[in-house]
């Protein structure tokens, strides 16, 4: 039997409510959990299973991989997007376009979830699309958000290299102007 979380006052911040559960960890609402609390979340007891890894295994085993081939199409499109981003990492215009496309898909993820939930019988063997959107969040949202993060890293790297190129050109130009000024003075 697992204890339900209880709302209590935090000793250092009496105005902040804290959820304490069976693990005994407490984090002020809105606060950032410590590394030990994160590890407890991953390895400690959960609502239905004993750890994050069991949750992950339960998620994987709940999917009918043989009959729901449309999932492989989603994964293939996501892999193609990742490949496009990686191969075009130095063309900021292209990866910016992919960033925009990903943003549109992520913006409409809730709507995609509700439409798929209404019509799941036409393409799936079971209804994966609950109101909270957990399945769409994991299958569609997480890979695209990680891709967005990668694109931001590539764009920041490209912006940094552009700044370096501009500064080098400015230095060369100022050195050339100094040499011209020295020749005129002679």
Whether pLDDT at 26 is above 80: no
Instruction: Determine the pLDDT at residue 168.
Output: 96
SS3 20: strand
How far out from the chain centre does Cα 131 lie? 21
Adjacent-strand bridge partners of 8: 18
pLDDT, tens digit, for every residue of 126-177?
898 988 888 899 899 999 999 999 999 999 999 999 999 999 999 999 999 9
Question: What is the β-pairing status of strands 17-20 and 6-9?
Answer: antiparallel
How confident is the model over 91-116, as a mean pLDDT?
94
Assigned token pair, 145: 């958000």
Whole-angstrom Cα distance, residue 108 to residue 136? 11
pLDDT, tens digit, for every residue of 95-105?
999 999 999 99
Least trusted range by pLDDT, from 16-25, 60-69, 97-106 = 16-25
**Contact present, 140 and 74 (Cβ < 8 Å):** yes
The helix or strand, by DSSP H or E, that contains position 159, with its residue range, turns out to be helix 142-185
106 pLDDT band (50/70/90 cuts)? very high
Name all contacts of 45-53 with Cβ < 8 Å and 24+ positions apart. 45/2, 47/2
Instruction: Determine the pLDDT at residue 10.
Output: 44
């Amino acid at each position: 039997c697992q204890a339900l979380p209880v709302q209590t006052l935090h000793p250092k911040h009496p105005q902040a409510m804290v959820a304490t559960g069976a693990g005994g960890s407490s984090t002020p609402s809105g606060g950032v959990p410590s590394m030990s609390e994160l590890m407890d979340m991953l390895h400690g007891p959960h609502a239905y299973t004993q750890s994050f890894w069991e949750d992950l295994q339960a998620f994987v085993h709940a999917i009918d991989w043989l009959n729901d081939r449309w999932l492989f199409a989603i994964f293939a499109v996501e892999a193609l997007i990742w490949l496009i981003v990686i191969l075009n990492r130095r063309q900021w215009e292209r990866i910016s376009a992919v960033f925009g496309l990903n943003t549109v898909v992520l913006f409409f993820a809730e709507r995609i979830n509700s439409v798929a939930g209404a019509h799941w019988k036409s393409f799936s063997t079971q209804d994966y699309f609950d109101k909270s959107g957990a399945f769409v969040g994991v299958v569609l949202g997480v890979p695209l958000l990680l891709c967005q993060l990668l694109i931001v890293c590539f764009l920041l790297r490209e912006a940094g290299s552009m700044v370096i190129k501009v500064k080098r050109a400015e230095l060369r130009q100022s050195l050339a102007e100094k040499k011209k000024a020295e020749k005129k003075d002679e």
